Structure 1
Amino acid sequence: MKKIEHVSVVGGTHGNEFSGIYLLKKWQKSSQLIAREGLNVNTLFANPNGFKENKRYIDCDLNRQFALKDLANETLANYEQSRAKVINAQLGPKGNAKSDFIIDLHNTTSNMGPTLILLKSDDFNKKMGAYVLSKMPEAIIVFEDHVDMHEHYFLASIAEQGVIVEIGPQPQSVIRQDVLDWMETMTHAILDFIALYNKDEVPSLPKCYEAYRYVESLKLPEDDDGERIGMVHKNVQDNDFKPLKSGDAIFTLFDGTEVTYQGDYEAYPHFINEAAYYDNNLAMSLGEKIVIKLDNDKSVDRF
């Protein structure tokens, strides 16, 4: 992999996710806080109008507008669609980007703690996950590598390498110190790792670690007319990354009927009851627990 030189730290992709926005303001005033030797680190406020209006978005979700076909489609011209094209021109273009690495900062209303979402599972990303865990043992690592980077529609996919920092629980349009501190710590750990990787100075890392891989998303119960008829079961609520086995209650209908999970694998729900996903009636994402193995001379025997 080529050396990473240009890093973009993006906040405010969603206008009511405040931790990244206020960290961005802090770092723009004191850029030395995110400066690293050998790196050109810049910041970008992705959705300023969403922030001004105190909304996730004005017209549509900005973090779903970065598919190559959509970026090339000039008829897609509402606020976020147009903003995506501007951002792509500034950080990209996707497929030949000026930015080598993008860190996109997000909050979730779900009880996910400090979660790092990796869009690729190459050696670099696997080691990054291990390094972040060495600095933040409470962190959760999730791989969303089910499609090629160029097929992702997230903002972070503009660059050849990109990650999503997803921290919660935090209500929309609120700032929590614990959540903001987690986000700041994780961002610094990512920047430190990049600088060390460039110099081939990454310290010894464990030979393997536990992580999660995204499998699917589940919708809330609906009737034939698409009307919502149930909610996330109380035993699942707030239990992000706790195992869910076939037969476990997962939803409660408004008439009191319990709906059980019927999957053929042990699932690990996350983004449980995320408020922002109600516009699509999504209840949660499901992942599988995986073991990431590192193959390098600096790995050590610990798990």
Structure 2
Amino acid sequence: MQRQRQYGLLLVTVAMLFWSLAGLFVRLINVSVGDLILWRSLFAGCALLVIAVLWPAKNTVFGWAGLGASLLAAVSMAAYAVSLTLTSVANVMILYATLPFFTTAIGWAFIGERSPRRALIASAVSLIGVGIVAAQGMKISDMSGNILALFMTVTFAGLMILARAIPQLNLALINAVAAFLCSLAALPFSSGSIPGLHDLAFLFALGILTTALSFLLFLMGSRFISSTEAALVELLDVVLGPLWVWLVLSEDPGIGALIGGGIVLAAVLWNLAPSLRYKPARISEATAQSSSDELTDSLCRQPPVHVAPQGLN
């Protein structure tokens, strides 16, 4: 169980690193919102479809549950992209930081999941940091972007819980369908022209890294750890998202964002401390090969996670 948990934490952390680049890529792309969503989603959908075809998972399902998951993912993808064009990256990250609380509430209501006490404490502490950032970042003029960012957070929390509740769902296919649905929705609002090479390159990176791989890896990893803990790791995006934009484009998040981001970072590291101290036992070459084969199959499907009433840890 400990090795599975570490594997889940690794996947979620890598997904967070990819996701944190979204604000920077959006700032570097000079196209309309319609074109942004259209091309980003097309690149992401094609990449995910390739994954689903080249690495087919056994005993996976789609059905009505898969369609519902695709709709949630599509709404979350679109809302995230649009919110980054309507408000600051810092504001989007602030509202996204409420993810642990939405996942806790939805998980408890629908699948009876109780999150580890340590993760709940860390989430509460991180909320203090988020509050410090929010104190300087919210403006009436940013209201539309803020509402979309909050809507993105709620739908993504629902997607996480659905993926945990039905572990047989084909995650690669679900996210591929979601990306293509986003493309269809954005088509009427696009310019109909092909972006320049500069914009196309960043749209490709935006689609592959911050949409296809980040969604897939995060949903895979969240099946091995509690929903609250997965969302808590993703809060590092609150620190890294504005940081990349600040370093590259000098969009200063302000001293409040730096202090609040530091509090969030400290809370996440405190929650992860027990796992970071764990030293796994040596395994044989045969066992390592067997594990490698199992991880290949897990690209689209993970084994069920049984949630005990006391929590996952």
For normalisation by structure 1, the TM-score amounts to 0.32
Which is richer in helix? 2
